[in-house]
Structure 1
């Protein structure tokens, strides 16, 4: 999966919390969101002359628009590791975000699991 395919997949599966997502799909989506946030922040600085830490309209809209697909993709990534999607709540704690980064860097289970077939096509 490449950057464009990951962005399209995230948009097409906007609130799909079922199935599995491979590691590359997740990390390319994260890269896509970082690019969107950076562009929105740059446009906010140009259009609204905002400061460094101000809440800005375009960046706020970008966060709102990308929150659900990012959450859904994180749940599908947990499914790929044969874990329940409720583990995503760990990310809302302070230290939990670090644990999620470690888990999301690990490969998913090979072959089908209780959440569906292997997105990489493994047997």
Structure 2
């Protein structure tokens, strides 16, 4: 197994999403790799947790990364969060990401969970899976 491609995958996902017109339209520049501090934007997304499973085989080391991206909004309804989540899915599913190390075999959407927040806002957490191989 290798966890060596985790950073390269995260950087590529982040760069791809920040360069995507649909994501930028939905979120502006409010995509983060850590929860923002201070005054929060009305809508933003955060790269979240990750689980990595060994997928090495006779051809070499590889892994399956399952990671989350969460959309948060202070809006009372889900529509704005759903539109942002859809833009993220449109940008990532089957995206031809280039990694600084190794290669992406594929990236897929697995599931989503929408929630009402105690402060009246909404959140949607998207789960993606990516298969990577080291060179």
Q: Is TM-score (shorter-chain normalized) higher than 0.5?
A: no
- Report the TM-score, using the length of structure 2 for normalisation: 0.26
Greater relative contact order, per chain length (Cα 8 Å cut-off, separation 6+): 1
Would you tell me which structure has more strand in proportion to its own residues? 2
Would you tell me which structure has more helix in proportion to its own residues? 1
- Report the TM-score, using the length of structure 1 for normalisation: 0.28
